[in-house]
Amino acid sequence: MDAGSDRSSIRLEGQLRQRYLTIVLPTALGTMASAPKLITTVSTKGQVILPSSIRQRREWGAGTRLIVEETAEGVLLKPAPAFAETQPQDVFGVLPAVGRPKTLDEMTASVLAEAKRRHARD
């Protein structure tokens, strides 16, 4: 490098081009700028009525079970899963076996027949 070069700039085709650092600052995190602020009231029983526009948009009908999480920003509502989380070992063997068990030869023949069927349609 020559003594007069500047590390913060580069020369392209005889022109001095400056390097700039661009910083993108997020707007209010997690909020929708165009969504109106809706207000509801907590009853003496601790119940809160969700505005119908939110219930309709989320497809939360009467009886929908929600998970309530406390966050740094407030309270988060999420639909509860329809079924409890399970592991394969928890449900393995729950259904009764029907018929006699397949032999190893029968299973091998079934796998080969399915492979041939899938290969034939490709």
Please state the pTM of the whole predicted model.
Answer: 0.43
Tens digits of residue pLDDT in 96-115: 888 898 999 999 999 999 99
Q: Report whether 81 contacts 65 (CB < 8 A).
A: no
Tens digits of residue pLDDT in 28-41: 555 555 567 888 99
What is the average pLDDT value for the chain, to the nearest integer? 80
Q: SS3 for 62?
A: coil
Question: Looking at this protein, which amino acid is placed at residue 120?
Answer: A
Give percent of the chain above pLDDT 70: 70
Q: What is the pLDDT of residue 97?
A: 81
Domains in the chain (CATH in brackets) are 39-82 (2.10.260.10)
Q: What is the pLDDT of residue 27?
A: 56
> Strand runs (DSSP E) across 1-122, as ranges?
9-12, 15-18, 66-70, 75-79
Distances (CA, A) of 89 to 86, 92, 93, 94: 8, 5, 9, 10
Location of structure tokens 């602020």: 37
Q: What is the pLDDT of residue 83?
A: 84
Sequence-ordered alpha helix ranges (H) in 1-122: 52-58, 88-91, 104-121
Res 16 pLDDT > 80: no
